[in-house]
Amino acid sequence: MLLCPNHHREATLGAMPETEQRYYKANPYNQIKDLAKGSLKILQSTLAMQLGSNPVVGDGIILEVDDFPLLELGLSDEKIVQVTVSLYDQSDTLLALIERNEWITGDPLPWDLEFGTRWIKS
């Protein structure tokens, strides 16, 4: 869940109950007011990112284990970054599945993301 810096601080310090966090998640202010589409848009035609200390250029499967993709990146015709991620625990239990930016399964809390105008990291 992405929150403005003030709400993020409240949530991190435990001053905002989980029910209120889920309300904001279900009713994103910027999307309701049509101020943002909620997606990371880039200006260039080639997707480039920094994955830890490794530069990655282009789309497709970025990380796979045993021929199973864990991280895949794409770029829509509107130049919206599309992320597909499968997250597992040590017992190979699926914790979360995100397909082209849509959270399919798993609890969307308590992930902590930082973001800027043209970047996002966790």
Q: Where are the alpha helices (DSSP H) in the chain?
A: 5-13, 18-26, 29-32
With vertex at residue 8, the alpha carbon angle to CA 89 and CA 94, rounded to the nearest 5 degrees, is 15
Name residue 73's beta-bridge partners. 60, 83
For residue 117, the model assigns a pLDDT of 64
Which residue type occupies 85? V
pLDDT, tens digit, for every residue of 68-102?
A: 999 999 988 888 888 899 988 889 888 888 899 88
Q: Are 71 and 54 in contact (CB under 8 A)?
A: no
User: How large is the average pLDDT for residues 36-57?
Assistant: 79
Token pair, residue 54, equals 């490794």
Which residue type occupies 103? W
Highest averaged pLDDT of the listed ranges 3-7, 38-42, 99-103, 111-115: 99-103
* pTM value surpassing 0.85: no
